[in-house]
A and B are shown apart, each in its own frame.
Chain A
């Protein structure tokens, strides 16, 4: 279906990367499988098709996990000994907080690839990460605030954890703003990528703020290595929800990157080919 466009783009990329043009379906045995796949995926038409195939499955898996996780968290899990049912907000709050950090790291890594290797796909992915990450950060701040009022006794306090998470939110907004401030989208993406990359210093601050300073916010409950101070009956829905949010993020970023690539490459041969193929 995309045979023509694909061949053209592989040729173009080969020229850009200073390589000898190879056959589209090249099987270079001297290369290991993973770099070969990433190289293949870096080409916009290949990515477009691959993401289109994978996205529905990821979204379906995310939905299934979210239903199981929410049912487990809101119905099956027992109430807490101190907080009663009010603790159940952690099934939204904690996975969102993890995602706010995870997406930022993903955005910064894509930003580094965009800055150094100037890969168009990396620019698109870095920029499309920002709104998803900002949304998760906002959910984290709002749900935390809702829980904080009855439990702590305040909506907001300028403790290290809350302030650094708010800074994270502003970093996301800064990346979105800077990207959109440029006339040339690729230059904008590179400038915003630098901001995203520099802002990564905030991630350890958010994570360790509860260790380094005396904060109102409690320390980590769930530890990957070591003891988690949460009953297993409450832990499993939390982990399923974390899986659901990760799957949702991957599905979402693939979809957003597809549309981003389409509009960025709207004049290219493969997009024209795609339009004629679908309108036929």
Chain B
């Protein structure tokens, strides 16, 4: 390689390296501050901002979903299997909202209840035909009675 091109290559790679290091450090620093959501355990430990809206993430607990008749209000419990937080929400729930589904809610804590202004359902990145889901649910039922509710497909 001739000296001019070699110098250009070195300079270019140095610039790229510097930018990569700067970005890496920023990403590393953001890791701590970029909290998209708090888990019920973190809320219980008092890590969530008090009086300000924040995002609460977790799984919709089995048997906790109650719809108030005649309204759009739904009460449910968000759990991370360590702590539970009761949530109330008025509005239209997303299609993916169901028991056992990861859910992200935005709102504030009011007297021990999380009053949500927004409910987002997370997708579990699993794709399968309904028949397969039913077969899995059936197999789970046979092996472990009482835990069939975990498979979302069985809810319908």
Contact of B121 among A79, A152, A198 (CB under 8 A): A152
Residue B34 at the chain A interface, CB threshold 8 Å: yes
Interface contact A81-B133, CB-CB below 8 Å: yes
Given known contacts A216-B36, A216-B120, A234-B127, A115 and B94 CB-to-CB distance under 8 angstroms? no
Which residue among B93, B118, B122, B131 has the maximum number of chain A CB atoms within 10 Å of its CB?
Answer: B122
Measured CB to CB, the nearest residue on chain A to B6 is A116
Residue B5 at the chain A interface, CB threshold 8 Å: yes
- Chain B contacts for A229, CB-based, 8 A: 124-127
Q: How far is the CA of A80 from the CA of B123 in the complex (A)?
A: 12
Measured CB to CB, the nearest residue on chain B to A159 is B36
Residue B65 at the chain A interface, CB threshold 8 Å: no
Interface contact A80-B127, CB-CB below 8 Å: yes
Interface contact A201-B153, CB-CB below 8 Å: no
Measured CB to CB, the nearest residue on chain B to A18 is B2
| B104 smallest CB distance to A (angstroms) | 6
Interface contact A233-B129, CB-CB below 8 Å: yes
Measured CB to CB, the nearest residue on chain B to A152 is B120
Interface contact B124-A201, CB-CB below 8 Å: no
- How many chain-B residues does the 8 Å CB contact rule pick out? 45
| B72 smallest CB distance to A (angstroms) | 13
Secondary structure at the B interface, as helix, strand, loop or mixed, is mixed
| B41 smallest CB distance to A (angstroms) | 13
| A137 smallest CB distance to B (angstroms) | 19
Interface contact B95-A86, CB-CB below 8 Å: yes
Residue A52 at the chain B interface, CB threshold 8 Å: no
Measured CB to CB, the nearest residue on chain B to A149 is B94
Interface contact A79-B122, CB-CB below 8 Å: no
Interface contact B20-A82, CB-CB below 8 Å: no
| B54 smallest CB distance to A (angstroms) | 13
Residue A212 at the chain B interface, CB threshold 8 Å: yes
Residue A146 at the chain B interface, CB threshold 8 Å: no
Query: Could you jot down 29 A-B contacts, CB within 8 Å?
Result: A18-B2, A78-B131, A82-B152, A83-B96, A86-B95, A112-B12, A116-B8, A117-B5, A151-B123, A152-B120, A152-B122, A152-B123, A153-B97, A153-B119, A153-B120, A160-B36, A194-B12, A201-B19, A202-B23, A205-B23, A213-B34, A214-B57, A216-B36, A216-B120, A216-B122, A229-B127, A230-B128, A231-B128, A234-B127
List 16 additional contacts besides A81-B152, A201-B16, A213-B36; criterion CB under 8 Å.
Answer: A78-B129, A79-B129, A82-B153, A115-B12, A151-B94, A152-B121, A159-B36, A194-B15, A198-B16, A201-B19, A212-B27, A216-B36, A216-B120, A218-B123, A229-B126, A234-B128
